[in-house]
Chains A and B, each alone.
Chain A
Amino acid sequence: MDLDAFFASVEQLDNPELRGKPVIVGGRENRGVVSTCSYEARAFGIHSAMPGAVARRKCPHGIFVPVRYERYKEKSAEVREIYTNYSDQYETLGLDEAYLDVSHFADAVPIAKELKQRVKQETGLTCSIGLSYNKSLAKIASDLRKPDALVIIRPEEALSILENLPIGALHGIGKKSKEKLAQKEIYTVKDFWNLSRDEVIQMFGKFGYDLYDRARGEDKREIVMDRTVRSISRETTFPIDIYDRNDVASLAKELLEEGIQAVEKKNLKPRTLSLKIRYTDFTTHSKQRTAYDEVDWFVLLDDLIDSFDYTSGIRLISVRFSNFMEETDGSHYQQLSLSWEDENR
């Protein structure tokens, strides 16, 4: 299931005066990007990840609102409360999407209908549900007739539905992959079928294996419960290009502080710190350092900052923690501490 234009819908829900109007969440700063926009705004050609300035040009009377992440989290939790009644096997993807395993129902179609209705009634939000026999097809189905849709792909229809889809409908095919495929004159899933498995692997590496299968309606992935956090990152796009290493350093430090807070809140112990820098020409470089045991992240960050080039302007930086230590390591062991009793009294 996929909540329709989720962030924008929450805004319209909370502020009735925004309903029926082009609402754009994010992108208020000149260089920020659009996070989500309402269907009214999409009519003007606005889409997520579009630079705010472009969105403003396309839709000058659009209503730009700031991102209220905490509020979306609340609404997302309300929705989860509902669907967990139907299945305890679920996998969330961001705040607005989730895979549910409903194979324990003899007929899942009425369940899907009921779920849609309850989400609408209890949260005021609409969602699109794709119902099928694997994750890839369920996802494709949910995207097929947004918003407020229920699309079912049965095994016998899978190939005929896939056949006519543009190649971008497959999960994992982004802009770059589309360009790559366009060079081979591959625009639809049907075109893609002409490639051999080896050719696909050559083009997409390991991911090619899965892609080859998914284009044929095959996907063996299981629902991954409580998807473990793989990375935590914080990024910022600068209102004006930055050329100075020290300016980058002080902003990166702020991001690092936020990242450390997020990591500590989740009680995670990361081993790897990455710094990503996007230059004005949109070339993006990312470097990382891995540390063993305890480490001063700020020293590591300084080292990373020094390893970049500052001769051309920089528009975005991102700081990312990953490679988290196994939780189980900690559960067996407890580092004891010196006791400074009299201090605490």
Chain B
Amino acid sequence: MKLRILQSVLVDAVSQVTKAVSTRTTIPILTGIKVTAEEDQLILTGSNSDMTIETKIPRVKDEKEQLFVEKIGSVVVPGKIFAEIVRKLPGNEVEWIVGERNGITIRSGKAEFQLHGLPSEEYPSLPQLYEEQVFSLSADLLRTLVRKTSFAVAVNEARGVFTGVLFQLEEGLLTCVATDSHRLSRQKTQVESLPDLQLNNVIIPGKSMSELAKTFADETELVDLVVAGNQLLARTKHLSFYTRLLEGSYPDTNRVIPQTGDVEVTTKTKELLQSVERASLISRDGRDNVIKWTVSDNQVQITSASQEIGSVVEEIQADVKGPSLTISFNARYMIEALRTIDSEEIHIQFTGSMTPFLMQPTDRNDSLHLIVPIRTR
């Protein structure tokens, strides 16, 4: 293998795949980055067996030559040190030669590194996915979905499925659900797919969701999502992101979402968020970050008290329908949900002090948040 490449291009590609490179040494070869030089592209792969990122550097980008492959070939480079070396190289261009017994030479400016590589045949091959179940959405929409759901996954949950985000697809409508059993977030969006494609119980680990958003952070094109076996592949022309899916069956979340409300509150999202954040200054030290709402005619009174610190009372104007109600809940759940809502107004539906309540933006019906209250004694 012999090639020349722009240093900045190599740095970007290496930093992309490094996100997936294993830091543990249980499978030593996975601490490396697999590199394959083909005639008009260079492919870099990083993996930790749960997650794999592959990026392709084309010969030409934006009509600019960035890669020149003189001799094709492949090798596995030691991941961490290679990433550091590449970042610190002095020249704009990097010359990269792989000789006998996977000896690697890297030249840039007047610096020359000799590294020991490993044979690429020892690197596990990428899962071969049977590309039947495919749908597409814009990278921007994908990032929005991640942002609006993944915060609600369980952090440390005995029931494994709740540490992931559920993807369901029916008639081109993608539904994403995340819950830790104390709150739930559900987003729906139209995607491009074959009309008869149906997906159930596809559960993506919460950690992979955030990495997915980061990996496609700068992308603008459509992202294809392929589901096959226990893998999900997210892919653009030059970038592929594989993640293992969680096993187990996600419960039916429709059953826990109340259909009607006895008490309905409509108010401004931003004002509400700020007010709850203020109340949380008092409550956040407590075990459950408890704030109390008293809903009555045209207003919501928000209170919070801590034995150590003191208390807070604030009233916000709201459009209230139905009888008065008092309810306590974790302020953080509401703050995190409200921060993902871009709409100006929000509609909240209560069915009682001990039952979950629903929050939805008033101007759209593709987004829903559920919060389970706290029982006070």
B residues 153-184 with Cβ under 8 Å of A? Answer: 155-156, 179, 181-182, 184
| Cβ contact of A333, chosen from B24, B252, B377, cutoff 8 A | B377
Q: Are A246 and B287 in contact (CB under 8 A)?
A: no
CB-based nearest A residue for B330:
A335
Q: Are A332 and B376 in contact (CB under 8 A)?
A: yes
How far is B307's CA from A325's CA once the two chains are assembled, in angstroms? Answer: 12
| Cβ contact of A335, chosen from B179, B288, B370, B377, cutoff 8 A | B288
CB-based nearest A residue for B23:
A246
Q: Are A335 and B182 in contact (CB under 8 A)?
A: yes
> What residues of A have a CB within 8 angstroms of the CB of B284 in the complex?
292-293
The reply on B332 being an interface residue by CB < 8 A is yes
- A227 → chain B closest CB, angstroms: 21
A241-261 interface code vs B (CB 8 A; 1 in, 0 out): 000001001100000000010
> What residues of B have a CB within 8 angstroms of the CB of A269 in the complex?
287
> What residues of B have a CB within 8 angstroms of the CB of A260 in the complex?
156
CB-based nearest A residue for B31:
A246
Q: Are B251 and A294 in contact (CB under 8 A)?
A: no
> What residues of B have a CB within 8 angstroms of the CB of A331 in the complex?
377
> What residues of B have a CB within 8 angstroms of the CB of A330 in the complex?
287-288
Q: Are A294 and B332 in contact (CB under 8 A)?
A: yes
> What residues of B have a CB within 8 angstroms of the CB of A296 in the complex?
155-156
CB-based nearest A residue for B24:
A250
A residues 302-337 with Cβ under 8 Å of B? Answer: 325-326, 328-337
The reply on B80 being an interface residue by CB < 8 A is yes
Q: A293-B284, A337-B372 are in contact. Are A343 and B328 (CB under 8 A)?
A: no
- B146 → chain A closest CB, angstroms: 16
The reply on B126 being an interface residue by CB < 8 A is no
Chain B interface size, as a band, is 20 to 34
Q: Are B287 and A295 in contact (CB under 8 A)?
A: no
- A124 → chain B closest CB, angstroms: 42
- A211 → chain B closest CB, angstroms: 30
How far is B23's CA from A251's CA once the two chains are assembled, in angstroms? Answer: 11
> What residues of A have a CB within 8 angstroms of the CB of B155 in the complex?
294-296
Q: Are A336 and B377 in contact (CB under 8 A)?
A: no
B residues 42-72 with Cβ under 8 Å of A? Answer: none
How far is B308's CA from A329's CA once the two chains are assembled, in angstroms? Answer: 11
- A196 → chain B closest CB, angstroms: 37
A268-311 interface code vs B (CB 8 A; 1 in, 0 out): 01000000000000000000000011111000000000000000
The reply on A228 being an interface residue by CB < 8 A is no
The reply on B361 being an interface residue by CB < 8 A is no
The reply on B359 being an interface residue by CB < 8 A is no
CB-based nearest B residue for A329:
B287
A residues 60-92 with Cβ under 8 Å of B? Answer: none
Q: Are A337 and B285 in contact (CB under 8 A)?
A: no
- A136 → chain B closest CB, angstroms: 31
The reply on A342 being an interface residue by CB < 8 A is yes
The reply on B137 being an interface residue by CB < 8 A is no
The reply on B205 being an interface residue by CB < 8 A is no
The reply on A339 being an interface residue by CB < 8 A is yes
> What residues of B have a CB within 8 angstroms of the CB of A294 in the complex?
155, 332
The reply on B356 being an interface residue by CB < 8 A is yes
Q: Are B377 and A293 in contact (CB under 8 A)?
A: no
How far is B256's CA from A269's CA once the two chains are assembled, in angstroms? Answer: 28
Majority-rule SS of B interface residues: loop
> What residues of A have a CB within 8 angstroms of the CB of B286 in the complex?
325-326, 329, 333
> What residues of A have a CB within 8 angstroms of the CB of B181 in the complex?
337-338, 340
How far is B80's CA from A250's CA once the two chains are assembled, in angstroms? Answer: 15
Q: Are A338 and B374 in contact (CB under 8 A)?
A: no
Most buried by A among B179, B181, B332, B376: B181
- A21 → chain B closest CB, angstroms: 40
- A334 → chain B closest CB, angstroms: 4
How far is B330's CA from A250's CA once the two chains are assembled, in angstroms? Answer: 33
Q: A250-B24, A296-B155, A326-B287 are in contact. Are A336 and B375 (CB under 8 A)?
A: yes
How far is B287's CA from A328's CA once the two chains are assembled, in angstroms? Answer: 9
| Cβ contact of B372, chosen from A292, A326, A338, cutoff 8 A | A338
Q: Are B80 and A246 in contact (CB under 8 A)?
A: yes
Q: Are A292 and B290 in contact (CB under 8 A)?
A: no
Q: Are B251 and A342 in contact (CB under 8 A)?
A: yes
The reply on B354 being an interface residue by CB < 8 A is yes
How far is B290's CA from A334's CA once the two chains are assembled, in angstroms? Answer: 10
How far is B285's CA from A338's CA once the two chains are assembled, in angstroms? Answer: 24
B339-377 interface code vs A (CB 8 A; 1 in, 0 out): 000000000000000101000000000000010111111
Q: Are B285 and A333 in contact (CB under 8 A)?
A: no
- A76 → chain B closest CB, angstroms: 31
Q: Are B372 and A336 in contact (CB under 8 A)?
A: yes
The reply on B289 being an interface residue by CB < 8 A is yes
How far is B285's CA from A246's CA once the two chains are assembled, in angstroms? Answer: 33
Most buried by A among B286, B330, B354, B356: B286
- B377 → chain A closest CB, angstroms: 6
How far is B48's CA from A246's CA once the two chains are assembled, in angstroms? Answer: 14
- A100 → chain B closest CB, angstroms: 32
Q: Are B285 and A336 in contact (CB under 8 A)?
A: no
Q: Are A292 and B251 in contact (CB under 8 A)?
A: no
- B41 → chain A closest CB, angstroms: 30
Q: Are B23 and A249 in contact (CB under 8 A)?
A: yes
> What residues of B have a CB within 8 angstroms of the CB of A250 in the complex?
23-24
CB-based nearest A residue for B79:
A246
> What residues of A have a CB within 8 angstroms of the CB of B252 in the complex?
342
CB-based nearest A residue for B370:
A338
> What residues of A have a CB within 8 angstroms of the CB of B330 in the complex?
293, 335
Q: Are B288 and A339 in contact (CB under 8 A)?
A: no
> What residues of B have a CB within 8 angstroms of the CB of A343 in the complex?
251
CB-based nearest B residue for A334:
B375
> What residues of A have a CB within 8 angstroms of the CB of B184 in the complex?
338
How far is B289's CA from A330's CA once the two chains are assembled, in angstroms? Answer: 10
- A302 → chain B closest CB, angstroms: 10
Given contacts A333-B287, A335-B374, 18 further A-B contacts (CB under 8 A): A246-B23, A246-B80, A260-B156, A292-B285, A292-B332, A293-B284, A326-B308, A329-B287, A333-B286, A333-B374, A333-B376, A334-B375, A334-B377, A335-B288, A336-B354, A338-B179, A338-B256, A339-B256
Q: Which 10 A-B pairs have the closest CB atoms?
A: A329-B287, A246-B23, A340-B251, A292-B284, A334-B375, A337-B181, A330-B287, A329-B286, A293-B289, A338-B256
